[in-house]
């Protein structure tokens, strides 16, 4: 069904923010590709639910509960990888701060937006790299950016700045880690119909999915005239981690239904 197992089967992947939404879809996809997956997430309840579902499907999955901004929690997550598993050589950085403020943003708003998105990203990446050999690591990292990293949006100053920083982080880290055999890329999804977006559209805008996708100012902004499902983001991430993408590093892959083309 998946067909990307070359270079993935039997490997260990760390997925931050993997308890729900896109993260849970990534964890499930990587498990389906034959990976053992560690989910690092701040939500214990959501994490346990996702791990239980993966176990019911016969997959190998492990939960580490913690905040990516906490270096001790990050170190504990890597130290807690089951002893029978291989050292993690795949990393997906999805944890982020979701703060949508403009010029009125306070210092607290900026910390809430950037600390998980950038500081946490750096903590996890550093801990991941520390466990890899100095040469020929055969490892891959995918960071979560957004179409918001590429455009201006009113009232999104905090969020868009953080996601734009992810692009810079990805390019610089790709250059720094290439001599060690570690590829680093990012993805930029458009709107994904996950639980939080569904709640926003229904409760704030009064729109179900069909109505939201039909609206010119929402789904109509995408060439494909719809939103993505989480699995449609997970699949390109799995590709970038696989050896099928062995000559791709330092780049960003839009998963945006054509949003950035217009």
Say yes or no to pLDDT of 19 above 80. yes
Residue 156 annotated as catalytic? no
CATH class in words for 12-192+228-256? alpha beta
Which DSSP category does 135 fall into? Answer: S
- Whether pLDDT at 2 is above 60: no
Angle at 167 between CA 187 and CA 5, to 5 degrees: 30
Per residue in 178-227, pLDDT (tens digit) is 999 999 999 999 999 998 889 989 998 999 999 999 999 999 999 999 99
Q: How many other CB atoms are found less than 10 A from the CB of residue 165?
A: 16
Query: 15: pLDDT confidence band, cut at 50, 70 and 90?
Result: very high
Q: How far is 243 from 168, CA to CA, in rounded Å?
A: 24
pLDDT band with cut points at 50, 70 and 90 for residue 1: very low
Mean pLDDT of 150-176: 98
Based on the number of CB atoms within 10 Å of its own CB, is 147 exposed (0-12), middle (13-18) or buried (19 or more)?
A: buried
Of 78, 128, 156, 159, the active-site residue reads: 159
Q: What is the SS3 assignment for 218?
A: coil
Residue ranges of the domains in the chain?
12-192+228-256
Q: What is the pLDDT of residues 60-93, one digit of tens each?
A: 999 999 999 999 999 999 999 999 999 999 999 9
């Amino acid at each position: 069904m998946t067909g990307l197992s070359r270079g993935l089967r039997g490997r260990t992947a760390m997925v931050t923010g993997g308890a729900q939404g896109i993260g849970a879809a990534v964890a499930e996809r990587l498990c389906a590709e034959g990976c053992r997956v560690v989910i690092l997430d701040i939500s214990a309840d959501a994490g346990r639910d996702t791990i239980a579902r993966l176990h019911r499907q016969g997959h190998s999955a492990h939960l580490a509960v913690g905040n990516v901004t906490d270096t001790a929690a990050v170190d504990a997550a890597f130290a807690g990888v089951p002893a029978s598993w291989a050292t993690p050589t795949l990393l997906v950085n999805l944890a982020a701060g979701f703060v949508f403020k403009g010029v009125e943003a306070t210092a607290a708003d900026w910390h809430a937006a950037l600390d998980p998105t950038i500081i946490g990203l750096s903590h996890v990446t550093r801990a991941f790299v520390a466990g890899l050999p100095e040469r020929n690591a055969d490892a891959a990292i995918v960071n979560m950016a957004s179409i918001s990293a590429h455009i201006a949006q009113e009232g999104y100053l905090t969020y868009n700045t953080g996601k734009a920083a992810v692009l810079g982080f990805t390019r610089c880290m790709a250059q720094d880690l290439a001599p060690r055999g570690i590829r680093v890329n990012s993805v930029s999804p458009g709107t994904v119909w996950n639980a939080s977006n569904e709640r926003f559209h229904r409760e704030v805008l009064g729109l179900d999915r069909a109505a939201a996708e039909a609206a010119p100012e929402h789904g109509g902004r995408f060439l494909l005239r719809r939103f993505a499902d989480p699995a449609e983001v997970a699949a390109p991430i799995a590709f970038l981690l696989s050896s099928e993408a062995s000559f791709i590093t330092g780049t960003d892959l839009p998963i945006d239904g054509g949003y950035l083309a217009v």
